[in-house]
Amino acid sequence: MKKNKISKNWINKQKRDIFVRRSKIEGYRSRAVYKLQEIDEKFKILKNGISLVDLGSAPGSWSQYVAKKVKSGKILSIDLNEFDQISNIHQLIGDFTNTLQKTKIKNYFGKKVDVVLSDMAVNTTGNKNVDAIQTGELCMEAMNFSKEILKSEGKFVSKIFMGSTFNEIVSEAKKMFKESKVFKPLASRKDSKESFIICKFLR
Ligand SMILES: C[S@@+](CC[C@H](N)C(=O)[O-])C[C@H]1O[C@@H](n2cnc3c(N)ncnc32)[C@H](O)[C@@H]1O
């Protein structure tokens, strides 16, 4: 399929999508917010006063949701791309996989945190297997970082793609956390390989 035909299909899909329409009405920057909302309602991730890291946060709908739900908390969001500021969120722009950025995150909190969220994904290549591998690597990196920065009763939520890295990630999660579940929210498109892994309580 030609590139402009793909983008026309994408635009038409967006126009029909109820989550896109709802996000515009409710003032969220992306339909992705409804994935986090459903995860939060089902797995009880957010509450007042927590400290939280949002990895891969641009354009910022997850952080907008967190800012609304978490009163008197300490929240840091990081993305490769710049995005508009959100009040009560400390923003970092840079590559999370870089040691310098990880040190900045740790220094900002100065102690262990309650929640790590990761919606990180690489720019899609058009090859779903390659996309799944690269996004899987980001998920593994986020999970390993969680081991360093989470409190023992902490929670880790990450995007995960069905593909060659899926089983490895799920088995690492089982080793690292006492509880782990894979869940696909309604807002996650049926034709996408995306799911989420929700983990609680470090071993
Ligand atoms: C699906 S979007 C996130 C959407 C976001 N959760 C929201 O609700 O607006 C994925 C993001 O991951 C970011 N990303 C990918 N690799 C990254 C990395 N190594 N460090 C930081 N951000 C990264 C991308 O720049 C992109 O903005």
Pairing relationship of beta strands 150-161 and 194-202 according to DSSP bridges: antiparallel
User: Does the pLDDT value for residue 129 go beyond 90?
Assistant: no
Task: Give residue 112's pLDDT.
Answer: 98
Whether the CB-CB separation of 100 and 107 falls below 8 Å is answered with no
Task: Give residue 30's pLDDT.
Answer: 97
User: Does the pLDDT value for residue 107 go beyond 90?
Assistant: yes
Pairing relationship of beta strands 177-183 and 150-161 according to DSSP bridges: unpaired
Give the pLDDT band (50/70/90) at residue 142: very high
Return the residue whose CA atom lies nearest to atom 13 of ligand 1. 56
User: Does the pLDDT value for residue 2 go beyond 80?
Assistant: no
Summarize the confidence of residues 149-169 as an average pLDDT. 94
60 lines ligand 1 (CB under 6 A): yes
Give the pLDDT band (50/70/90) at residue 5: low
Task: Give residue 128's pLDDT.
Answer: 77
123 lines ligand 1 (CB under 6 A): no
Nearest residue to 55 via CA among 121, 126, 125: 121
170 lines ligand 1 (CB under 6 A): no
Instruction: Report the C-alpha gap between 119 and 31 in whole angstroms.
Output: 13
Centre of ligand 1 from the C-alpha of residue 88, in Å: 19
Summarize the confidence of residues 172-177 as an average pLDDT. 97
Task: Give residue 127's pLDDT.
Answer: 81
187 lines ligand 1 (CB under 6 A): no
- Do you know the residue count of the chain? 203
Whether the CB-CB separation of 77 and 60 falls below 8 Å is answered with yes
Domain range annotation of the chain: 34-202
3-class SS of residue 152: strand
Q: What is the pTM of this model?
A: 0.93
Centre of ligand 1 from the C-alpha of residue 140, in Å: 15
Averaged pLDDT of the chain: 93
Summarize the confidence of residues 175-191 as an average pLDDT. 96
The set of catalytic residues is: 159
68-95 confidence digits (pLDDT tens): 999 999 999 999 999 999 999 999 999 9
Task: Give residue 14's pLDDT.
Answer: 67
Which of 61, 65, 69, 79 best tests ligand 1's pocket when mutated (most atoms within 8 Å of CB)? 79
User: Does the pLDDT value for residue 15 go beyond 70?
Assistant: no
Give the pLDDT band (50/70/90) at residue 3: low
Instruction: Report the C-alpha gap between 166 and 57 in whole angstroms.
Output: 22
Centre of ligand 1 from the C-alpha of residue 59, in Å: 8
Whether the CB-CB separation of 159 and 176 falls below 8 Å is answered with no
3-class SS of residue 87: coil
Decide yes or no: CATH 3.40.30.10 for domain 34-202: no
Share of the chain above pLDDT 90, in %: 81
Return the residue whose CA atom lies nearest to atom 23 of ligand 1. 56
Task: Give residue 167's pLDDT.
Answer: 94
Q: Identify residue 16 by its one-letter amino acid code.
A: R
57 lines ligand 1 (CB under 6 A): yes
Pairing relationship of beta strands 113-118 and 150-161 according to DSSP bridges: parallel
Which of 119, 141, 193 best tests ligand 1's pocket when mutated (most atoms within 8 Å of CB)? 119
User: Does the pLDDT value for residue 45 go beyond 80?
Assistant: yes
Summarize the confidence of residues 175-188 as an average pLDDT. 97
Instruction: Report the C-alpha gap between 37 and 89 in whole angstroms.
Output: 18
